[in-house]
Structure 1
Amino acid sequence: MGRRQVGGTTVELTGLGFGASAIGNLYRVTTATDAAAAVDAAWEAGLRYFDTAPHYGLGLSERRLGAALRGRPRDEYVVSSKVGRLLVPNEEPRGVDSEGFVVRDDLRRRWDFSRDGVLRSIEDTLKRTGLDRLDLVYLHDPDDHWRQAADEAVPALAELRDQGVIGAIGAGMNQSAMLARFLRETAADVVMLAGRYTLLDQSALDDVLPAAQELGKSVVAVGVFNSGLLSSDRPTEGMRYDYQEAPQALVTRARAIAEVCSAHGTTLPAAAIAFPSSHPTIINVTLGMRTAEQVGRNVQLHRQHIPASLWDDLRTQGLIRSDVPAANGPGRSARCL
């Protein structure tokens, strides 16, 4: 079972990762039993990269992930979490979290990319997960905090990496331009790119992907379904794109891509998962997973054979950019679980 190295570090990720936001009760309640079963199913399928964050369910995701991994050989898996949002007591709770997670709001998030904030966040995450270390730490959505994130948070993380406390460092965002700055201007090893290198949006070709390739750094792709529009075989009106209802033009384009996928014997969701790995800097695709059934479906989609000619036809028909690189070798040979 293949793994790929994160930049110049010793951290290695399986080609498919388990995104743990959903087991933090994202949008709806997930039972503790279902959350544990999802992690168990991922493990049985060979996934060894698990991503979480304090933001996800106000710590619930971290607690559940840590509990589900407890007792497994620590050197066999990689866990990433994030810094930038400290969890602090909520002086004015209203009952339920207001940022998309169905959990009590006894805690609230406070932005903090200071050195002290980074150290405290990591310490809190280790307590919630029960882990002895984090393998990979990202800055989480530092869009409005570039100066403090670049000047304080990254150096703090780099010091921990250089001391061997954590294995690799980076940043995760829904935009690509600032991620390119983190790669070019800071000690980041890797970035988590959300939604900007998909079948519907290849804007990362203009900034972050060339930066990673030039510098020998790595990219983890998330949000590959663009909030849902690419998640079904036949896209329909009313589906979401980047957290909002998809414009008709994008629905039409997604349907056209789905038709080409069908002609090549595959499906739109399978192609959406496979597409990011056509770029040599993208070492992993991480998907949000809530239940064992979702894990099974995602693994099955990830393992589907995707003929290299699919990307050629999509380029020829103008459905993806002409500068999307060709897949490495026939079919799915460049990808690994």
Structure 2
Amino acid sequence: MRALGRTGITVPALGIGCWAIGGPDHNLGMSMGWASGADSATAIAGLETAWELGARLFDTADVYGHGRSERRLAHLVAHVPREQIVLSSKVGYFTGTARHGYDPAHMRRQLGQTLDNLGTDHLDIYALHHSDFGADDRYLQPAVEAMRAFQAEGLIKAVGMRGPHRFAPDRLATAPDRRGDKIARFRAVFDAVEPDVLAVRDNLLTPTARSEGIFAFARERRCGVLINKALGQGLLTGMYDPARPRRFPDGDHRSRKRWFTPDALTVLQEGLEELRSLVGSGSADLISIALWSCLDRSPDAVVLTGFTTPGQVRVNLTSLRDHPRPQILERARTIMAAVQARLDDTGEVFLDETTAPS
């Protein structure tokens, strides 16, 4: 069980990420969904399996399938005690016809739609999905005021935001040497928002030196942490074969990410083979060490795992087994950090978002 900082929310250490069950999608002129996402019946079965196996925190967003993920999650919400399920959603990436995703009137409409989609009268966590607040941060303070108003009205309990990251259109269109300092940007937004929860990308491919800073930062400020991409969107499970690379169709975000190319997968496969010799050859062995690596980052962190089938949910939520020895965890991190370094050297950056604020 994990207590999410000062929020008063206590949940099992493994939660469920609901991006993939939103299915294929486009937003801001780019693919942002999962073409291999589950159909409605499979998604609902996976959510029910997660509940039966003890998951209690479910994380979604208005832009995941433009409401499809939220509406599928509503099938579970309708059949479990509301006080026992923790619901987290996000706002900002879907603009619709508003001037900006963080226009306060738009945020209120989106929150109302999210509540309708989920079939609930409140969210436990509501997060700002990115850190672009318009020219000269025009919408930053209005967005913060909107979030505090939602809290005062009892529509949300805790306010969340992303850890250090880059806004997706900027990451795609701006050359690396022209990008701003994402750590300085994170600090500026954090100071304005004063969030209760941080969403942080972390996994075995994240060097420990990068991870330690953000988790220490969160602890000092009594922030809970939701760790996402813990399994590298499946990359750390061994499910991607460089000899038979997948072709991701339009609407699947993986079609624009270098880690899913044959050359990158070849480098990854070499690291996974070394990892298998350390922890075991099965997919569950890889999943277990990947999840434990994240769980050990902070006692205030909950690790989110996504899925497209009930079978994936079952393996993820039953794979922890005994806690690995510290030296095994450290060796696993060293092996995979070397893989990350190799890909950095060739320009195949994994888009890590956990660089530590100083």
Q: Same-fold call, TM > 0.5?
A: yes
CA contact (8 A) 1:200 1:254 kept: no
Deviation at residue 77 of structure 1 after TM alignment: 0.7
The answer to whether the aligner puts 1:284 opposite 2:273 as a matched pair is no
Deviation at residue 30 of structure 1 after TM alignment: 2.5
Q: If each structure's strand is expressed as a fraction of its own residues, which one has the higher value?
A: 1
Superposed CA deviations along residues 198-247 of structure 1, whole A, max 9, x for unmatched, are 11113643653232122121211111122332112897565887654226
SS in 1 for 2:156: coil
Percent pairwise identity:
26
The answer to whether the aligner puts 1:134 opposite 2:106 as a matched pair is no
Residues 309 and 41 (structure 1 numbering): CA distance in 2 closer, same or farther, change over 3 Å? Answer: same
For 2:319 and 2:81, how far apart are their aligned partners in 1?
A: 27
The aligned residue for residue 36 of structure 1 is 44
The aligned residue for residue 70 of structure 1 is 78
The aligned residue for residue 325 of structure 1 is none
Amino acid at match of 1:44: E
The answer to whether the aligner puts 1:165 opposite 2:171 as a matched pair is no
Residues 173 and 57 (structure 1 numbering): CA distance in 2 closer, same or farther, change over 3 Å? Answer: farther
Superposed CA deviations along residues 237-264 of structure 1, whole A, max 9, x for unmatched, are 658876542264444334333332239x
Which deviates more from structure 2 when the two are superposed, residues 77-86 or residues 280-289? 280-289
CA contact (8 A) 1:34 1:292 kept: yes
The answer to whether the aligner puts 1:6 opposite 2:20 as a matched pair is no
For 1:179 and 1:204, how far apart are their aligned partners in 2?
A: 15
User: Which of 226, 234, 237 is the equivalent residue of 1:231?
Assistant: 237
Instruction: Point out where structure 2 has 5 or more consecutive residues left out of the alignment.
Output: 24-33, 166-181, 247-253, 339-358
- 1 or 2 for the larger relative contact order (CA 8 Å, sep ≥6)? 2
CA contact (8 A) 1:65 1:129 kept: yes
SS in 2 for 1:170: strand
For 2:299 and 2:139, how far apart are their aligned partners in 1?
A: 23
Q: Give the TM-score normalised by structure 2.
A: 0.72
CA contact (8 A) 1:6 1:168 kept: no
For 1:216 and 1:29, how far apart are their aligned partners in 2?
A: 35
Deviation at residue 133 of structure 1 after TM alignment: 0.9
Q: CA RMSD in A?
A: 3.2
SS in 2 for 1:80: strand
Amino acid at match of 1:40: E
The aligned residue for residue 120 of structure 1 is 109
For 1:84 and 1:8, how far apart are their aligned partners in 2?
A: 24
CA contact (8 A) 1:18 1:51 kept: yes
CA contact (8 A) 2:242 2:265 kept: no
Which deviates more from structure 2 when the two are superposed, residues 8-17 or residues 144-153? 144-153
Superposed CA deviations along residues 117-153 of structure 1, whole A, max 9, x for unmatched, are 2211101111122211111011113357582563222
Deviation at residue 185 of structure 1 after TM alignment: 4.3
Amino acid at match of 1:123: G
CA contact (8 A) 2:104 2:142 kept: yes
Residues 152 and 172 (structure 1 numbering): CA distance in 2 closer, same or farther, change over 3 Å? Answer: same
The aligned residue for residue 102 of structure 1 is none
CA contact (8 A) 1:273 1:285 kept: yes
Q: If each structure's helix is expressed as a fraction of its own residues, which one has the higher value?
A: 2
For 2:164 and 2:258, how far apart are their aligned partners in 1?
A: 9
Tell me how many residue pairs correspond in the alignment.
297
For 1:16 and 1:51, how far apart are their aligned partners in 2?
A: 11
CA contact (8 A) 1:7 1:190 kept: yes
Residues 204 and 290 (structure 1 numbering): CA distance in 2 closer, same or farther, change over 3 Å? Answer: same
Deviation at residue 304 of structure 1 after TM alignment: 5.2
SS in 1 for 2:280: helix
Deviation at residue 292 of structure 1 after TM alignment: 1.7
